[in-house]
Amino acid sequence: MKGRQRIMWMVMAGALALGGSPLLAEPVGEVAPSPLEQLENRFFEALGGGQATAAESLLLEGLRNGLLTGKDPVEATLMVSLGNEMCELGLIASAAFWLKQVQTRFGNEPAGENSDQTWAQLLAPKIAWLEQGGHRTWVEPTAENLARKIFRALQPYDRTALDALLVPFDVYIGWWQSELEPVKRDELLSFLESHRAGLLTWVNEKHLPALPGGGEAVVYLKTKGWSTPDGYTTLQFALHQLAAGGWEWRGVVLGEEGELPMDGGPRPGSEGRSLTSP
């Protein structure tokens, strides 16, 4: 993920006289990025390169020198990204620190352009879990183990069992070749319940156990038999591999036959579709 590099162009001057031709201005060229944009670029380069400690140092320096003012929503994205990465790495104290920074500075702001939750509402479950020690009691040792438990809970639909298997935070739903959207846990569970049409089929049961050996960070339990909206034919349960070991179920993606999603999680401020779409 890169920071924003803005290119500013002058506007058309317009016709000088009746019947005249408009004058096209020459492009001004690339505007130098602001200090915050420079920080954003360097931060995501470090984080994307697996250098979480270096990324954290950049934000700490931004806090010390006053560059991070608590006024630009980009700051919330940086801090949440770092907090989530630290959580993945099992660095509980650091993860809690950065997510609490967002809660304090941006708690009443919307968590993204199209979100119906504030940052405080979105982050509350994860912060509470971190404050209790950050133990992932729901994690399964293998993707196959987790997939079988999920599929068993779907036939017949056992909401209590599914609730126990789904992560308590960072839940999402997505559409093939589209954005992935963070949603509330209850919304996802209700979506599954309302779109269960009949006998479900586990499409890739024979191939799922082989996928983790290939170094995949996310594998998909692909199922058919749903009354899925918008003409999609499969519902794919996203199983994420943790850096500390084990697998967890974070969301679902509506897909097409023979295709798998290209992304493993929601993007900050992503534009998704409503769970109630026809």
Mean pLDDT by 10 residues, the chain (278 residues): 26 25 50 94 96 97 96 96 93 97 95 84 95 94 94 93 95 83 92 87 80 66 85 89 89 76 40 34
94 and 185 together in one domain = no
Return the CATH number at 234.
3.10.450.50
Q: What is the pLDDT of residue 29?
A: 67
Cβ atoms of residues 9 and 29 within 8 Å: no
pLDDT at 21: 37
For residue 258, the model assigns a pLDDT of 57
**CATH number of the domain enclosing 94:** 1.25.40
Residues 103 and 126 in one domain: yes
Kindly state whether residues 12 and 122 are assigned to the same domain. Answer: yes
Looking at residue 96, its pLDDT comes to: 98
Give the count of domains, the chain: 2
- Model-level pTM? 0.73
User: Tell me: the pLDDT tens digits for 11-30?
Assistant: 222 222 223 333 344 455 67
Take residue 114 and report the two structure tokens written for it: 């199209």
59 and 92 together in one domain: yes
Please check whether residue 80 is in contact with residue 99, taking contact to mean a CB–CB distance below 8 angstroms: yes
Contact 42, 34 (CB under 8 A): no
Note the pLDDT of residue 210: 56
Plot region of 211 (φ>0 → left; ψ -120 to 50 → alpha; else → beta): alpha
Q: Are residues 116 and 195 in the same domain?
A: no
For residue 207, the model assigns a pLDDT of: 78
Asked whether residue 150 falls in the same domain as residue 112, the answer is no
Residue 113 domain boundaries: 7-131
Calpha distance 159→99 (Å, rounded): 30
Could you tell me if 75 and 175 lie in one domain? no
Residue 10: the pLDDT is 19
Looking at the structure, tell me whether residues 147 and 250 fall in a common domain. Answer: yes
Same domain, 122 and 150: no
